Every structure is written in structure tokens, then in C-alpha cells.
Amino acid sequence: MVDITEQKRVEEALKESELKNRALSEATEEALFFSDKGVCIECNKAACEMFGYKYEELIGIFGTDVIAEESKEIVRQNMMTGYEEPYEAIAQKKDGTKFWAEFHGRMYEYKGKEVRVTAINDISDRKVAEEALVFSEEKFRAAFKTSPDSISINRMSDGKYVEINEGFMYSTGYSEIEVLGKTAEDLNFWVNKSDKFKLLGELTQKGYIINFDAKFRLKGGKIISGLMSARIVTLNHEKYLISITRDISELKKAGEELIVAKELAEKREKEYRALFTEMLDGFALHEVIYNDLDIPEDYRFVELNPAYERLTGLKKENIINKTILEVRPNIEKKWIENFGKVGKTGEPYWFEDYVKEFDKYYTGLAYSPQQDYFAVIFSDVTDKKKAEKIVFENDKQLKEQNEEYQALNEELTSLNLELLEAKQKAEESDKLKTAFLANMSHEIRTPMNGIMGFSGLLAKDNLVKEKKQKYIEIIKQNSHQLLSIINDLVDISKIEAGQIDIEEDEVRLDLLSRSLADLYYQKAIDKNIDFHLENKGVDILIKTDETKLRQILINLLDNAFKFTHKGEIKFGYEVKESIIEFFVSDTGIGIDKESTGIIFERFRQVELSSARKYGGTGLGLSISKAYIEKMGGKIWVDSEINRGSTFVFTLPLEFSKGKITHIQDVKFDGDRIDWSSKVILVAEDELVNYKFFEEIFEGTKVNLIWAINGQEAVEHCMVNETIDLVLMDIKMPVLNGYDATEKIKKYVQIYL
């Protein structure tokens, strides 16, 4: 028999030791790995939790399997060499998450063999704190270095400068070598010693001071006012003073100037108030009131002068802070609209009108002193108007008497004819006046002022012939401008009223673009500009509103020719998937980037000195934009000052099912062409132009019909089915070419 008592005792002791080690390893928060030749043979619960593995998954893996790729080499080296000092590396969990950890490995005897036990601590939070500390130090250092204010650090024990920033050196004029190791007294910074003692007193009491106002002497002797904030801090067991000083000399000077300006403003206010009270013209300030749609619906009285009371009969105490509808419930709506627009847009408004309520004529100006407010300065011109009316009546009576005396010397038939013509002219004049008044807008005042102003100058007795001719030309130019404005206002009024009707015409783009090219060919020759038509697609037949498409292209081409003095202008179109893209490009004066966003707004032009001379309402682009958007497209511009502009717009591409009829160029040769079976309608209000067409078609035997306006052209087409072609002028009386074309296309299939 063998006594195994001692063996049992040793085994029990070993088992008890292992249990104690197991309990100890499970109780610690550190992850413990036991490895033999780099392979994990044991681990604790904290290791499983830290790395996200089950116990059986960790047993048998290599130690570097839980290490991130960038740290594997250092961990492998330390394991192989038996490195026993703590070190840091990046660990990796089962799900791939990486974190900073501290590793501490040593050799221990475990189950009768030497193994490496590695304790691992997650130090992510510590790393974040360290990085934050480094970042904070870097931020402080960057702020200290780049601040424009003077920043300095002084040792409290001896008052010497230990560090200054560039702002300090720039402000004082001293270099770093001249300052460090010296005190403020050494550099004679303090102008008033009492300021220094006051500063030290507050610092001793509170440990800091904020916005301390004092005077400082710079290098060279210049004295400035400075605003200082300072605080005592402890660094490495020693106290330092960190101070920031800002030069407020200019600020103080500005404050003193502000006081002087305020006193001057108060003085001028008194002077203006006296002028306001004593002025003969009426004056009133109002605030515009808007509805929920941001449309002016009323306005409130804010201030008025005694002359206002005298000219209107309304008392200040009865109307201040009241609205115009409260004071004058029956006021015409146009006054609220016109004055409201002044307050909203800032555009001034000249007016002269009869006010039935007061039985007076007033003339004046409304302007906006600030957003949503308008002021009115006006005078009573009733007596002047009455005198003008008397003169007008006398002139009228004298003219009528002269006409009567002349009529007695003419035959009865001639008299009847003259009376009939006079009646027709009067009726036509009434129609034109009605149409004019219906489409009036205050936007016409600029050319109207020019017409009225230079008409007055023509009345001078001693006016030389050259000046008279110059004034007549100016009046003619303003008249044309006024007519253009009215046409634009008609279109814009339709747009605002939502009365845009889009027609579906079959449009052959090649013919349309060629006709426009022919229209501008002579203008290009006159201006010595290269003019090109570039169609980057096939000749196609599409469905769209031909009239509006033509007007859009004309507006863009007109602008191109207006603002281009040399170089080239080109236009065309290109098919791109489901859209068709049109462009008009020029090498004109161009538009700056800041202004390209406003040129499509109504009444806006690029406010450049080089562009203001061109005139115009600014409505052409806004009308084109409205038409394009109504037709489902978009418009934009790419431009550069002195390089030119390219306007681009798109329309949805809808092919027509009709077939393109290819029209070949025809040489007009009377001996060869026989158009005796053809009928052409020429819609043209000028006889000279019609005679031109007669000369062109002479010898072709074609039958020409002449319509002197758009309405006659429509009537001819409705009753005459033999018409093969219509040549339509655009601007004609009664009905213009655009509207006439739309009416004809609704009912008749004719080439136009």
C-alpha cells in the first residue's frame, strides 16, 4: 500500500489556491488574460464583458486577435520579449469597435507552468479627457497668439512680464525682447500712477477686474485710452496676472463726436420743425396698412402740418392716428393703391388730380422716407386750373368762330364731308382716349415729365432753332418710350390679372427662327455686329403658343441688340430629352453677378452707370418670364460684365403629329412663276409697305388682298376660303398682329 495522504493534501491546497485565484480574478474590473505561448488558456468575466465574447470563444484564441490592426505589432513584440511595464495600445471588440486600453503583463506560475498574465484596463475616457485638455490648451494658445487685443502675463511676485502676444507688440510698439523680464514701471506704461494703485487694490480684493478704464503711454510717448480686464491665476504653485487691454481711443473719440452730432441734430430738428410748421405746401406722413396678402388696403395718419389743415379743411386732432377710410370712407381706391405702392416699393409718385370731396385740384409728390411709410407734399392749384379752363374755353370759342366763318365760304357738300370726317375723328379720338386712360399707370410719369418739361421750354420766345430741334427730338424720344411703356403695361396687367391664355399651335421651329433672323439681319448690318442663327437640332414640328414664343425671342433679341455695340449676337435652339432649350447670346455690356437675380423682376434694370442710358421699363424680361412659366418652362441668364450675356429658357417638348412641309427657296421670276391661282392677304396699315409687296409680287400673277388693320385681316380670312397665305404686320391699329394671328388660327388653317 502507498500512503497518498500528502499527495491529497497538496492537491487540495492547489485546488484551494486555484479557487482563490479564480475568485480574485472574477472580483476585479480589469480584464485578465492567461496565455501560454500567445494562446489564451484562461480569462475572467471582465474580459468577456470588455470584449463582447463568450468565455468559450476567448479560450484558444491568440492574444493579438483582440488587438486592432494598428497596434498588433507592439503587442506581439511585448508578448514575445516578456515586457512587464504598463503600455497603451488600441484593442478591438468582437463587433469591431476599437478603444484605447492599458496593458500590464507579467509571468506567473499557473497550474504548474509559467504563463503570461495580462491585465487590461479600458482607458477611453482618460484618452478623451487628455485630448480635450490638449485641444483646450491649443485653443488658448491660438486665441492668445492671434487676438488683436494686447494680452500679457505678469508674475505677481515681481511684476515682470513673462509672456506677451503679437497684439501687445503691435499696440505698444515694443518688441518681445524689449518687454520680457521688465515691469510696467520699467516701460513707463502708466500715465496716472493712481490708476495703477486702484487696479492693484481691486485685484487684491477680488482677484479680478473687468473693463478698467485707464490711460497708457506707448513706445514713442503716444498716450491712448485702454479698457483692461485682468485676473490672478495660479500656475505651478505661483501666482500670475493675465490681462487683456483694448485700445478704445477711437471709440471715445467717436463718442465725443456723437455727442456733438446729437446736439447738431437737435438744433436742425428745431429748424426743420419751424420750417415744417411755416411751410405753405401741405405735408402729411402716413403708415401703410396691408391685408393678409400683403396688399395695401388702407393707411394711417402719423403727422401733418398746419398747411395741410388749411388746404383740406381737416383738423389735425380729428385725424391723427386714424386711417384714411375712417376719415374719408368714400376715397377713390386708386389713392390707396398708388400711395401704398410708394410705401411698399420706395418709388416716388407724382400726381395732379381733382378731389371731388374738397372741390379742389391738387398737385404734389408722394415719397417713402422709410419702409411701409409715405409722405405727401402737395399744393392747391384750383385757381390755376380754373384760369387754364377759362383760357381753353376762350380758345375753343375763337376756334369755333373761325371755323364757322370759313365754312360760310365753302359749298354745302364740302361742309357735310368735313362734318362727317370731324365726327369720325372725334369718335376715334374718344376710343383712343378711353383705351389710354384704361391702361394708364403711374410708371409713365418719367417720359411724361420729359414731354411736359421740354414742351414748356419750347414756349420760350428767344429759343434758337438748334435748341428747338433738340427739344423736339427729346419729346419724340420720350413719346416713343411712353408708347413702349403702355404696351408693356398692357401685357403685365394681363399677367397680374391671370388672363394669360396659352394656345396650342403647330410650330415649325426652323421657319420661326429663320423669320426672326431675317427680321434682325438689317439691324445687325447697321450696327456692324456678327449675327448668327445656330440650331443645334433637327427641324421639328412642335405644339406650343407660337405668338408668345415669338414675343419672348423678340424681347431677348431686342435686349441683345440694345446692349451690344460690337462683337456678335447668336440665337437658336437645341432638343434635350423631354425639353427644348432656346438661347440668345451676345458680347454686350454684361450684367454683374449680384444683379442677375433681379433682372426678371418688374421695373428693374441693372443699376450701372453704363446701362442707365439705355432706358426702357424693365418689363420685357418679366413678361417673358411669366409667359415661359405659364407654358411650363424656365428662364435664366449667365453673364459677366464687359463679356456679354447668354439668356436660356426651356419649354416642354411636345411633338406635333402633323408633317413638316418642306418649303424650298423660290426665286421670284415673273417669266417663270404663275401664281394666278394663289391668294395672299397682306395685313399692313402703311400704304408704302403694301406698295412694296405689290412690287415684289409683280409678274407672279398672284391675287393680293389688302387689310389695313388686324380686325380687317380676321374678317377677310373668315369669309374668304381661297386665301393661301397671310403676311401679318405686328403693330397695327384696332387689332394688333399677335391677337389677329391667334384669332385666325382658331378657325382657319392658313400659313401666317
pLDDT tens for 515-551 read 888 889 888 998 999 999 987 556 788 888 998 999 9
Indicate which CATH number applies to the domain containing 157.
Answer: 3.30.450.20
The reply to whether 346 and 313 lie within a common domain is yes
Strands 530-533 and 568-576: parallel
Q: Are residues 377 and 518 in the same domain?
A: no
Q: State the amino acid at position 33 in one-letter form.
A: F
Q: What gap in Å lies between CA 656 and CA 679, rounded to an integer?
A: 27
Taking a C-beta distance cutoff of 8 angstroms, is the pair 239, 157 a contact?
yes
Residue 722 lies in a domain: yes
Q: What is the mean pLDDT of the chain?
A: 82
Q: 69 lies in a domain?
A: yes
Q: How confident is the model at residue 658 (pLDDT cuts 50, 70, 90)?
A: low
- For residue 751, the model assigns a pLDDT of 60
Query: Does residue 141 lie within any of the structural domains?
Result: no
Query: Is 243 found in the same domain as 332?
Result: no
**Range 679-700 average pLDDT:** 87
**306 and 182 fall within a common domain:** no
Q: Which segment of 139-153, 223-237, 368-382, 563-577 scores lowest on mean pLDDT?
A: 139-153
pLDDT at 13: 47
- CATH number, position 613: 3.30.565.10
**Same domain membership, residue 734 and residue 691:** yes
Q: Which of 383, 348, 345, 413 is nearest to 604 (CA)?
A: 345
Q: What is the pLDDT of residue 186?
A: 92
SS3 track for 249-296? HHHHHHHHHHHHHHHHHHHHHHHHHHHHHHCCCEEEEEEEEECCCCCE
Residues 225 and 91 in one domain: no
**114: in domain:** yes
Q: What is the pLDDT of residues 434-480, one digit of tens each?
A: 443 444 455 566 677 767 777 777 777 777 777 778 778 777 667 76
Domain end, chosen from 230, 247, 264, is at 247
What pLDDT score was predicted for residue 609? 41
371 found inside a domain: yes
Average pLDDT in the 701-719 region?
Answer: 92
pTM of the model: 0.32
Q: What is the CATH number of the domain that holds 716?
A: 3.40.50.2300
Structural domain ending residue among the three candidates 384, 415, 435: 384
Residues 606 and 693 in one domain: no
Q: What is the DSSP string of 558-570?
A: HHHHHH--SSEEE
Same domain as 122, residue 74: yes
- 125 vs 661, residue with greater confidence: 125
Give residue-wise pLDDT tens across range 191-239: 998 988 998 888 888 888 888 999 999 998 999 989 898 999 888 888 8
3-state SS track over 647-691 = EEEEEECCECCCCCCCCCCCCCCCCCCCCCCCEEEEECCCHHHHH
Contacts 24+ apart (CB under 8 A), 209-214: 213/248, 214/190
H/E segment holding residue 142: helix 124-146
Are 175 and 169 within 8 A, CB to CB? Answer: yes
Out of 636, 652, 668, pick the residue that ends a domain.
652
Query: Using CB atoms within 10 A of its CB, is residue 578 exposed (0-12), middle (13-18) or buried (19+)?
Result: exposed
Beta strands in 95-222 (DSSP E): 98-110, 113-122, 150-155, 161-164, 208-217
Q: Quote the pLDDT of residue 139.
A: 64
Range of the domain at 707: 679-747
Alpha carbon distance, N-terminus to C-terminus of the chain:
133
Do residue 40 and residue 87 come from a single domain?
Answer: yes
Tell me the per-residue pLDDT of 79-95, one tens digit each, with 9 for 90 and over: 899 898 999 999 999 99
Q: Rounded CA gap, 685 and 730, in Å? A: 10
- DSSP H helices, 440-502, are 445-458, 465-496
Residue 142 lies in a domain: no
Asked whether residue 505 falls in the same domain as residue 616, the answer is yes
Burial of 169 (0-12, 13-18, 19+ CB in 10 A): middle
Q: Does residue 416 form part of some domain?
A: no
Are 597 and 692 found together in one domain?
A: no
Give how many domains the chain has, as a whole number. 5
pLDDT band of residue 567 (cuts 50, 70, 90) is very high
How large is the average pLDDT for residues 381-404? Answer: 80
Residue 462 resides in a domain: no
648 lies in the same domain as 688:
no
- d(CA 703, CA 7) in angstroms, rounded, equals 138
- For 576-616, what is each residue's pLDDT tens digit? 888 999 999 999 999 888 888 788 876 555 444 434 455 55
